[in-house]
Amino acid sequence: MSLLTDLVNLNLSDCTDKIIAEYIWIGGSGMDLRSKATTLSGPVSDPSKLPKWNYDGSSTGQAPGEDSEVILYPQAIFKDPFRRGNNILVMCDAYTPAGEPIPTNKRCNAAKIFSHPDVAAEEPWYGIEQEYTLLQKDVKWPIGWPLGGYPGPQGPYYCGVGVDKAYGRDIVDSHYKACLYAGINISGINGEVMPGQWEFQVGPAVGISAGDELWVARYILERITETAGVVLSFDPKPIQGDWNGAGAHTNYSTKSMRSDGGYEVIKKAIEKLGLRHKEHIAAYGEGNERRLTGRHETADINTFLWGVANRGASIRVGRDTEKAGKGYFEDRRPASNMDPYVVTSMIAETTILWKP
Protein backbone atom coordinates (compact mmCIF):
# COMPACT_ATOMS: atom_id res chain seq x y z
CA MET A 1 0.00 0.00 0.00
CA SER A 2 2.88 2.35 0.73
CA LEU A 3 4.23 1.77 -2.80
CA LEU A 4 0.84 2.68 -4.24
CA THR A 5 0.75 5.85 -2.14
CA ASP A 6 4.28 6.72 -3.22
CA LEU A 7 3.34 6.35 -6.89
CA VAL A 8 0.15 8.39 -6.52
CA ASN A 9 2.21 11.17 -4.92
CA LEU A 10 5.00 11.17 -7.52
CA ASN A 11 6.19 14.69 -8.33
CA LEU A 12 6.27 14.72 -12.14
CA SER A 13 8.06 18.08 -12.30
CA ASP A 14 11.24 16.31 -11.17
CA CYS A 15 11.47 14.43 -14.46
CA THR A 16 9.24 16.03 -17.13
CA ASP A 17 7.60 19.28 -18.22
CA LYS A 18 4.46 17.36 -19.12
CA ILE A 19 1.35 17.86 -17.00
CA ILE A 20 -1.96 16.09 -16.49
CA ALA A 21 -5.19 17.99 -17.15
CA GLU A 22 -8.39 16.52 -15.71
CA TYR A 23 -11.33 17.66 -17.88
CA ILE A 24 -14.57 17.91 -15.87
CA TRP A 25 -18.11 18.17 -17.22
CA ILE A 26 -21.72 17.73 -16.12
CA GLY A 27 -23.45 14.50 -17.17
CA GLY A 28 -26.92 13.73 -18.46
CA SER A 29 -28.80 14.01 -15.16
CA GLY A 30 -27.66 17.59 -14.77
CA MET A 31 -26.12 16.72 -11.40
CA ASP A 32 -23.67 13.88 -12.10
CA LEU A 33 -20.08 14.96 -12.64
CA ARG A 34 -17.80 13.19 -15.12
CA SER A 35 -14.09 13.60 -15.78
CA LYS A 36 -11.17 12.17 -17.70
CA ALA A 37 -7.51 13.08 -17.98
CA THR A 38 -5.12 13.96 -20.77
CA THR A 39 -1.41 14.69 -20.97
CA LEU A 40 -0.25 18.14 -22.08
CA SER A 41 3.27 19.13 -23.15
CA GLY A 42 3.63 21.80 -20.47
CA PRO A 43 1.88 24.06 -17.96
CA VAL A 44 -1.21 25.99 -19.13
CA SER A 45 -2.91 28.85 -17.27
CA ASP A 46 -5.30 30.17 -19.94
CA PRO A 47 -8.32 27.94 -20.78
CA SER A 48 -8.37 29.31 -24.35
CA LYS A 49 -4.95 27.70 -24.87
CA LEU A 50 -6.27 24.26 -23.98
CA PRO A 51 -7.40 21.86 -26.72
CA LYS A 52 -11.06 20.95 -27.10
CA TRP A 53 -11.77 17.30 -26.44
CA ASN A 54 -14.64 14.87 -26.94
CA TYR A 55 -16.42 12.06 -25.15
CA ASP A 56 -19.05 9.38 -25.76
CA GLY A 57 -22.32 11.14 -25.02
CA SER A 58 -24.30 7.92 -25.45
CA SER A 59 -22.68 6.65 -22.23
CA THR A 60 -23.68 9.73 -20.23
CA GLY A 61 -27.27 10.09 -21.48
CA GLN A 62 -26.38 13.10 -23.64
CA ALA A 63 -26.30 11.74 -27.20
CA PRO A 64 -27.65 8.82 -29.28
CA GLY A 65 -25.36 5.87 -30.02
CA GLU A 66 -25.36 6.51 -33.78
CA ASP A 67 -24.12 10.09 -33.27
CA SER A 68 -22.46 9.96 -29.88
CA GLU A 69 -19.63 12.48 -30.06
CA VAL A 70 -19.92 15.46 -27.69
CA ILE A 71 -17.28 18.20 -27.67
CA LEU A 72 -15.77 19.64 -24.48
CA TYR A 73 -14.87 23.34 -24.46
CA PRO A 74 -12.43 24.23 -21.64
CA GLN A 75 -13.75 27.21 -19.66
CA ALA A 76 -11.92 27.52 -16.33
CA ILE A 77 -8.66 26.18 -14.86
CA PHE A 78 -7.95 25.24 -11.24
CA LYS A 79 -4.90 23.70 -9.57
CA ASP A 80 -5.27 19.96 -9.02
CA PRO A 81 -5.15 19.19 -5.26
CA PHE A 82 -4.93 15.45 -5.92
CA ARG A 83 -2.00 15.31 -8.36
CA ARG A 84 -0.55 18.67 -7.28
CA GLY A 85 2.51 20.13 -9.03
CA ASN A 86 1.58 21.89 -12.27
CA ASN A 87 -1.32 19.54 -12.92
CA ILE A 88 -4.76 21.10 -13.39
CA LEU A 89 -8.51 20.61 -13.16
CA VAL A 90 -10.43 22.01 -16.14
CA MET A 91 -14.12 22.90 -15.94
CA CYS A 92 -15.71 22.39 -19.35
CA ASP A 93 -19.09 22.76 -21.00
CA ALA A 94 -20.42 20.54 -23.74
CA TYR A 95 -21.41 21.12 -27.37
CA THR A 96 -22.44 19.20 -30.48
CA PRO A 97 -19.83 18.83 -33.24
CA ALA A 98 -21.67 21.68 -35.02
CA GLY A 99 -20.98 23.97 -32.07
CA GLU A 100 -24.45 24.05 -30.50
CA PRO A 101 -24.68 23.73 -26.70
CA ILE A 102 -26.27 20.41 -25.73
CA PRO A 103 -29.47 20.59 -23.60
CA THR A 104 -27.66 19.95 -20.29
CA ASN A 105 -25.17 22.75 -20.98
CA LYS A 106 -26.58 25.51 -18.77
CA ARG A 107 -23.31 27.42 -18.67
CA CYS A 108 -23.61 28.74 -22.23
CA ASN A 109 -26.85 30.65 -21.58
CA ALA A 110 -25.57 31.87 -18.21
CA ALA A 111 -22.44 33.26 -19.87
CA LYS A 112 -24.64 35.19 -22.33
CA ILE A 113 -26.60 36.76 -19.47
CA PHE A 114 -23.45 37.68 -17.54
CA SER A 115 -21.84 39.19 -20.65
CA HIS A 116 -24.85 41.50 -21.26
CA PRO A 117 -23.55 45.07 -20.83
CA ASP A 118 -26.22 45.97 -18.25
CA VAL A 119 -25.36 42.91 -16.13
CA ALA A 120 -21.58 43.31 -16.49
CA ALA A 121 -21.86 46.96 -15.41
CA GLU A 122 -23.55 45.87 -12.16
CA GLU A 123 -20.74 43.40 -11.26
CA PRO A 124 -23.05 40.81 -9.62
CA TRP A 125 -21.48 39.11 -6.61
CA TYR A 126 -22.59 35.73 -5.30
CA GLY A 127 -21.97 33.74 -2.16
CA ILE A 128 -23.43 30.24 -2.31
CA GLU A 129 -24.01 28.13 0.81
CA GLN A 130 -23.81 24.52 -0.39
CA GLU A 131 -25.35 22.03 2.04
CA TYR A 132 -24.83 18.28 1.61
CA THR A 133 -25.25 15.01 3.49
CA LEU A 134 -22.69 12.23 4.00
CA LEU A 135 -24.16 8.72 3.78
CA GLN A 136 -22.88 5.28 4.74
CA LYS A 137 -21.90 3.50 1.53
CA ASP A 138 -23.90 0.28 1.65
CA VAL A 139 -27.07 1.40 3.40
CA LYS A 140 -27.44 5.03 2.18
CA TRP A 141 -28.11 6.20 5.75
CA PRO A 142 -26.34 9.27 7.23
CA ILE A 143 -22.93 8.64 8.74
CA GLY A 144 -22.95 8.58 12.54
CA TRP A 145 -26.58 7.41 12.63
CA PRO A 146 -27.35 3.95 14.10
CA LEU A 147 -28.25 1.47 11.37
CA GLY A 148 -32.02 1.49 10.90
CA GLY A 149 -32.38 3.99 13.74
CA TYR A 150 -32.14 7.66 14.56
CA PRO A 151 -29.86 9.84 16.66
CA GLY A 152 -31.17 12.24 19.27
CA PRO A 153 -33.31 15.15 18.02
CA GLN A 154 -31.86 18.21 16.32
CA GLY A 155 -30.31 20.84 18.53
CA PRO A 156 -26.73 19.89 19.47
CA TYR A 157 -25.42 19.24 15.96
CA TYR A 158 -25.37 22.68 14.28
CA CYS A 159 -21.75 23.83 14.47
CA GLY A 160 -21.37 21.07 17.06
CA VAL A 161 -18.12 19.66 18.43
CA GLY A 162 -17.54 16.14 19.71
CA VAL A 163 -17.66 12.54 18.58
CA ASP A 164 -21.40 12.30 19.31
CA LYS A 165 -22.27 15.49 17.41
CA ALA A 166 -19.91 15.99 14.44
CA TYR A 167 -19.69 13.14 11.92
CA GLY A 168 -17.24 13.37 9.00
CA ARG A 169 -15.10 16.36 9.97
CA ASP A 170 -11.99 14.79 8.39
CA ILE A 171 -13.76 14.81 4.99
CA VAL A 172 -14.99 18.38 5.52
CA ASP A 173 -11.58 19.78 6.48
CA SER A 174 -9.85 17.89 3.65
CA HIS A 175 -12.30 19.44 1.22
CA TYR A 176 -11.82 22.92 2.68
CA LYS A 177 -8.05 22.81 2.23
CA ALA A 178 -8.24 21.16 -1.19
CA CYS A 179 -10.53 23.93 -2.46
CA LEU A 180 -8.18 26.62 -1.16
CA TYR A 181 -5.29 24.84 -2.87
CA ALA A 182 -7.26 24.65 -6.12
CA GLY A 183 -7.86 28.41 -6.13
CA ILE A 184 -11.55 28.24 -5.32
CA ASN A 185 -12.77 31.14 -3.20
CA ILE A 186 -14.20 28.90 -0.49
CA SER A 187 -15.05 31.16 2.41
CA GLY A 188 -16.02 28.76 5.19
CA ILE A 189 -17.54 25.49 6.42
CA ASN A 190 -19.85 24.45 9.26
CA GLY A 191 -21.76 21.51 10.62
CA GLU A 192 -25.47 21.70 9.86
CA VAL A 193 -28.65 21.22 11.90
CA MET A 194 -29.15 17.58 10.89
CA PRO A 195 -26.32 15.28 12.02
CA GLY A 196 -24.22 14.03 9.10
CA GLN A 197 -25.05 17.16 7.14
CA TRP A 198 -22.49 19.89 6.43
CA GLU A 199 -22.15 23.13 4.50
CA PHE A 200 -19.42 24.94 2.64
CA GLN A 201 -19.61 28.43 1.22
CA VAL A 202 -18.16 29.66 -2.09
CA GLY A 203 -17.80 33.37 -2.68
CA PRO A 204 -17.85 36.18 -3.08
CA ALA A 205 -17.51 35.30 -6.75
CA VAL A 206 -18.39 37.51 -9.71
CA GLY A 207 -20.75 36.41 -12.47
CA ILE A 208 -20.06 33.13 -14.25
CA SER A 209 -17.14 32.29 -11.96
CA ALA A 210 -19.59 31.51 -9.13
CA GLY A 211 -20.96 28.56 -11.13
CA ASP A 212 -17.51 27.38 -12.22
CA GLU A 213 -16.16 27.46 -8.67
CA LEU A 214 -19.16 25.72 -7.09
CA TRP A 215 -19.15 22.92 -9.66
CA VAL A 216 -15.42 22.28 -9.19
CA ALA A 217 -15.85 22.42 -5.39
CA ARG A 218 -18.55 19.75 -5.76
CA TYR A 219 -16.21 17.70 -7.95
CA ILE A 220 -13.42 17.87 -5.37
CA LEU A 221 -15.85 16.80 -2.64
CA GLU A 222 -17.04 13.87 -4.76
CA ARG A 223 -13.42 12.76 -5.21
CA ILE A 224 -12.67 13.02 -1.48
CA THR A 225 -15.78 11.07 -0.47
CA GLU A 226 -14.90 8.48 -3.12
CA THR A 227 -11.54 7.96 -1.40
CA ALA A 228 -13.16 7.91 2.04
CA GLY A 229 -15.74 5.30 1.01
CA VAL A 230 -18.65 7.62 1.84
CA VAL A 231 -21.61 8.54 -0.41
CA LEU A 232 -22.19 12.25 -1.07
CA SER A 233 -25.83 13.30 -1.32
CA PHE A 234 -27.23 16.61 -2.59
CA ASP A 235 -30.81 15.46 -2.04
CA PRO A 236 -32.82 18.44 -0.70
CA LYS A 237 -34.61 16.24 1.85
CA PRO A 238 -32.52 13.10 2.42
CA ILE A 239 -34.40 12.02 5.56
CA GLN A 240 -38.14 12.46 5.90
CA GLY A 241 -39.66 13.65 9.17
CA ASP A 242 -38.52 16.21 11.70
CA TRP A 243 -35.11 16.77 10.12
CA ASN A 244 -33.81 19.78 8.22
CA GLY A 245 -33.47 19.56 4.46
CA ALA A 246 -30.46 20.66 2.43
CA GLY A 247 -30.37 23.89 0.45
CA ALA A 248 -28.03 26.13 -1.47
CA HIS A 249 -28.86 29.59 -0.16
CA THR A 250 -27.61 32.13 -2.67
CA ASN A 251 -26.39 35.50 -1.43
CA TYR A 252 -26.46 38.23 -4.05
CA SER A 253 -25.60 41.87 -4.57
CA THR A 254 -25.01 44.28 -7.43
CA LYS A 255 -22.85 47.37 -7.58
CA SER A 256 -25.97 49.52 -7.07
CA MET A 257 -27.00 47.49 -4.01
CA ARG A 258 -23.54 47.84 -2.49
CA SER A 259 -23.55 51.63 -3.00
CA ASP A 260 -25.24 54.35 -0.95
CA GLY A 261 -29.00 54.09 -1.37
CA GLY A 262 -28.66 50.40 -2.19
CA TYR A 263 -31.40 49.29 0.21
CA GLU A 264 -34.05 50.75 -2.10
CA VAL A 265 -32.47 48.88 -5.03
CA ILE A 266 -32.57 45.68 -2.96
CA LYS A 267 -36.27 46.11 -2.20
CA LYS A 268 -37.10 46.67 -5.87
CA ALA A 269 -35.08 43.57 -6.82
CA ILE A 270 -36.92 41.47 -4.22
CA GLU A 271 -40.25 42.73 -5.57
CA LYS A 272 -39.28 41.53 -9.06
CA LEU A 273 -38.20 38.14 -7.68
CA GLY A 274 -41.63 37.81 -6.05
CA LEU A 275 -43.36 38.44 -9.37
CA ARG A 276 -41.40 35.57 -10.94
CA HIS A 277 -41.56 33.25 -7.93
CA LYS A 278 -43.02 30.27 -9.82
CA GLU A 279 -40.46 30.49 -12.61
CA HIS A 280 -37.60 30.58 -10.11
CA ILE A 281 -38.96 27.69 -8.05
CA ALA A 282 -39.24 25.59 -11.21
CA ALA A 283 -35.53 26.16 -11.88
CA TYR A 284 -34.23 25.89 -8.30
CA GLY A 285 -33.72 22.11 -8.04
CA GLU A 286 -35.64 18.83 -8.19
CA GLY A 287 -37.49 17.59 -5.13
CA ASN A 288 -37.49 21.05 -3.56
CA GLU A 289 -41.18 20.65 -2.63
CA ARG A 290 -40.08 18.09 -0.02
CA ARG A 291 -37.84 20.75 1.57
CA LEU A 292 -39.82 23.99 1.22
CA THR A 293 -42.67 23.12 3.58
CA GLY A 294 -42.79 26.21 5.79
CA ARG A 295 -40.96 24.26 8.52
CA HIS A 296 -37.29 23.70 9.31
CA GLU A 297 -36.16 27.25 8.41
CA THR A 298 -38.01 27.43 5.07
CA ALA A 299 -40.92 29.29 3.53
CA ASP A 300 -43.69 27.24 1.92
CA ILE A 301 -42.91 26.54 -1.74
CA ASN A 302 -46.09 28.29 -2.92
CA THR A 303 -45.57 31.40 -0.81
CA PHE A 304 -43.18 34.28 -1.45
CA LEU A 305 -42.24 36.45 1.47
CA TRP A 306 -39.18 38.38 2.56
CA GLY A 307 -38.00 39.78 5.85
CA VAL A 308 -35.05 41.08 7.82
CA ALA A 309 -33.21 38.31 9.69
CA ASN A 310 -36.11 35.91 8.97
CA ARG A 311 -34.89 32.39 8.20
CA GLY A 312 -38.44 31.30 7.49
CA ALA A 313 -38.66 33.68 4.53
CA SER A 314 -38.04 33.14 0.82
CA ILE A 315 -35.62 36.09 0.82
CA ARG A 316 -33.71 37.14 3.93
CA VAL A 317 -32.11 40.56 4.35
CA GLY A 318 -29.43 40.80 7.03
CA ARG A 319 -29.55 43.23 9.93
CA ASP A 320 -26.24 44.75 8.78
CA THR A 321 -27.69 45.52 5.36
CA GLU A 322 -30.77 47.15 6.87
CA LYS A 323 -28.63 49.22 9.24
CA ALA A 324 -26.11 50.31 6.57
CA GLY A 325 -28.79 51.04 3.99
CA LYS A 326 -26.88 48.96 1.45
CA GLY A 327 -25.43 45.48 1.01
CA TYR A 328 -26.86 42.15 -0.16
CA PHE A 329 -29.73 39.71 0.31
CA GLU A 330 -30.06 35.94 0.55
CA ASP A 331 -32.33 33.85 -1.68
CA ARG A 332 -33.14 30.87 0.55
CA ARG A 333 -35.20 28.97 -2.02
CA PRO A 334 -32.56 27.08 -4.08
CA ALA A 335 -32.24 23.38 -3.25
CA SER A 336 -28.89 21.71 -2.58
CA ASN A 337 -29.06 20.02 -6.01
CA MET A 338 -29.60 23.25 -7.96
CA ASP A 339 -27.44 24.15 -10.95
CA PRO A 340 -25.48 27.28 -9.95
CA TYR A 341 -25.23 28.40 -13.59
CA VAL A 342 -29.04 28.47 -13.76
CA VAL A 343 -29.66 30.04 -10.36
CA THR A 344 -27.03 32.79 -10.48
CA SER A 345 -27.86 33.87 -14.04
CA MET A 346 -31.60 33.75 -13.41
CA ILE A 347 -31.30 36.01 -10.36
CA ALA A 348 -29.24 38.49 -12.43
CA GLU A 349 -31.68 38.32 -15.34
CA THR A 350 -34.75 38.90 -13.14
CA THR A 351 -33.26 41.68 -11.03
CA ILE A 352 -31.32 43.56 -13.75
CA LEU A 353 -32.73 42.77 -17.20
CA TRP A 354 -36.37 41.74 -16.69
CA LYS A 355 -39.01 44.45 -17.08
CA PRO A 356 -42.29 43.62 -15.26
Domain residues of the chain, as ranges?
4-104, 117-353
Average pLDDT, the chain: 96
Is this prediction's pTM over 0.85? Answer: yes
Q: Are 91 and 216 in contact (CB under 8 A)?
A: yes
Q: Hey, what CATH topology would domain 117-353 get?
A: Creatine Kinase; Chain A, domain 2 (3.30.590)
* Per-residue pLDDT, 330: 97
**Percentage of the chain exceeding pLDDT 90:** 90
What CATH code would you report for 4-104? 3.10.20.70
pLDDT in tens, 316-338: 999 999 999 999 999 999 999 99
- 17 — pLDDT class (breaks 50, 70, 90): very high
Look at residue 66 and tell me whether its pLDDT is greater than 90: no
Q: Given a cut of 60, is residue 259 above it in pLDDT?
A: yes
- What pLDDT does residue 227 have? 96
pLDDT at 1 over 60: no
Cα 52 to Cα 46, 88, 132, 216, 303, distances in angstroms: 13, 15, 32, 18, 45
Taking only the tens place, the pLDDT of each residue in 156-181 is 999 999 999 999 999 999 999 999 99
**Residue 238: pLDDT over 90:** yes
- Identify the pLDDT of residue 62: 94
Domain 4-104 shares a fold with domain 117-353: no
Percent of the chain with pLDDT over 70: 100
pLDDT digits (tens, 9 = 90+) for 27-50: 999 999 999 999 999 999 999 999
Specify the pLDDT at position 306. Answer: 94
pLDDT at 208 over 90: yes
